[in-house]
Amino acid sequence: MAFDGKLEPAAEPVLADWLDWLAHEKRCSAHTLDAYSRDLGRFLGFLIDHLGYVPGLKDLANLQATDFRSYLAFRVNQGLSRTSTARALSSLRNLFRFLARRGLIENTAISTVRSPKIPRSVPRALDPVEAREVVTRAGDLPLEPWVGKRDVAIMTLLYGCGLRISEALALNRKDVANLAAGDVLRITGKGGKERLVPVLAVVAEAITDYLSACPMERQALFLGLRGKRLNAGVVQKNMRHLRHQLGLPDTATPHALRHSFATHLLGGGGDLRTIQELLGHASLSTTQRYTEVDASHLNAVYRDAHPRARFKE
């Protein structure tokens, strides 16, 4: 993977090697690689102004903790969130560890810099009735009937299987061949980690309806109007239109359907370990955030509004 950076020309291939290592050895997703590349580019751009010249590897080795803290302060002044700044610092630590393992430079100063504290927040789940409306009304927007069925299938996967939007859009036709209720989907999540997700009847039906209506047959399951793999931005745009139509808050995003899947399962008596496996969370602590939701309320609505009720009255 090439890197269009702001480092001495002789050192830039090392950065490209790092990104290639992340892609092939650590199996980072394209989304993660783009984020790491942007983080690195922003950091090197900062260093040019901070140092007054284009840095080389030797300059990276000589950076002090105060230099890294200045970069964090720079990001704050740019209005960047604590979450993205913590990720950016993690990216840099990863790079410096890579450079040390390759015997290129050694810099221990970055390990002394603390990450910004990130406020702990409970994921905002949709009300079960709202989630059901999103799924059933997703097909009302497009002019092309097959596109409407596509959008229903996507929203059904997010809420009915708890997939990330990137995971749903990465599916290929062969992954859902002869799909039926009771089958499982093999999902590749973050870090290339695989998990098996059970398929509910409503999910299998939505995908089958879409495939029957789609006029194009490609490797990718979900296609755009031009026959290419669908972009996440299209799904997010459709969700914004649905929010407007249904009067939902800005927190009603495609990812909120995944949160709703987990929250409603927990409210229905699902155990954390099982939900952790279904979501593909590496840490149980991530899943435990859902215990802060009002489970007593969810128990009352789960039986009628979860996908197991087939989104029907």
Catalytic residue among 150, 290, 302, 306: 290
Confidence label for 290 from pLDDT (cuts 50, 70 and 90): low
Regarding whether 203 and 164 lie in a shared domain, the answer is: yes
Q: Is 31 a catalytic residue?
A: no
Catalytic residue among 149, 150, 258, 259: 258
Task: Give the whole-angstrom CA distance, residue 20 versus residue 12.
Answer: 13
Regarding whether 152 and 48 lie in a shared domain, the answer is: no
In a domain, 88, yes or no: yes
Residue where a domain terminates, one of 62, 87, 112: 112
Residue where a domain terminates, one of 65, 84, 112: 112
CATH classification at residue 259: 1.10.443.10
Task: Give the whole-angstrom CA distance, residue 212 versus residue 235.
Answer: 20
In a domain, 188, yes or no: yes
Regarding whether 230 and 94 lie in a shared domain, the answer is: no
Q: Total structural domains in the chain? A: 2
**In which domain, by residue range, is 84 found?**
12-112
Take residue 96 and report the two structure tokens written for it: 């410096």
Regarding whether 95 and 167 lie in a shared domain, the answer is: no
Regarding whether 196 and 64 lie in a shared domain, the answer is: no
pLDDT score of 191 more than 80: no
Q: What is the maximum span of the chain, computed from C-alpha positions, in angstroms? A: 67
In a domain, 151, yes or no: yes
Catalytic residue among 75, 132, 281, 306: 281
Task: Give the whole-angstrom CA distance, residue 128 versus residue 145.
Answer: 26
Residue where a domain terminates, one of 63, 84, 112: 112
Regarding whether 144 and 107 lie in a shared domain, the answer is: no
pLDDT digits (tens, 9 = 90+) for 222-277: 999 999 999 999 999 999 988 888 888 888 888 888 888 887 777 777 766 677 77
In a domain, 1, yes or no: no
Regarding whether 135 and 108 lie in a shared domain, the answer is: no
Q: Is 281 a catalytic residue?
A: yes
Q: Is 149 a catalytic residue?
A: no
Task: Give the whole-angstrom CA distance, residue 101 versus residue 44.
Answer: 21
Q: Is 290 a catalytic residue?
A: yes
Regarding whether 269 and 150 lie in a shared domain, the answer is: yes
Regarding whether 148 and 72 lie in a shared domain, the answer is: no
**pLDDT confidence of residue 170:** 92
Regarding whether 189 and 67 lie in a shared domain, the answer is: no
Regarding whether 214 and 87 lie in a shared domain, the answer is: no
Alpha helices (runs of H) in the chain, residue ranges in sequence order: 12-24, 30-51, 57-61, 65-77, 82-101, 128-137, 145-161, 165-169, 201-213, 232-246, 254-267, 272-279, 284-287, 295-305
Beta-carbon contacts of residue 299 (< 8 Å; ≥ 6 apart): 267, 268, 269
**pLDDT confidence of residue 243:** 85
Tracing tokens 């720079």 back to the chain, one arrives at: 74
Q: Answer with the residue of higher pLDDT: 149 or 182.
A: 149
Q: Is 258 a catalytic residue?
A: yes
Regarding whether 82 and 177 lie in a shared domain, the answer is: no
Q: Is 241 a catalytic residue?
A: no
CATH classification at residue 32: 1.10.150.130
Catalytic residue among 97, 137, 195, 255: 255
Catalytic residue among 6, 150, 164, 243: 164
- Give the number of other Cβ atoms within 10 Å of residue 243's Cβ: 18
Catalytic residue among 69, 190, 229, 289: 190
Q: Answer with the residue of higher pLDDT: 173 or 2.
A: 173
Find the mean pLDDT for residues 279-297.
57
pLDDT score of 183 more than 60: yes
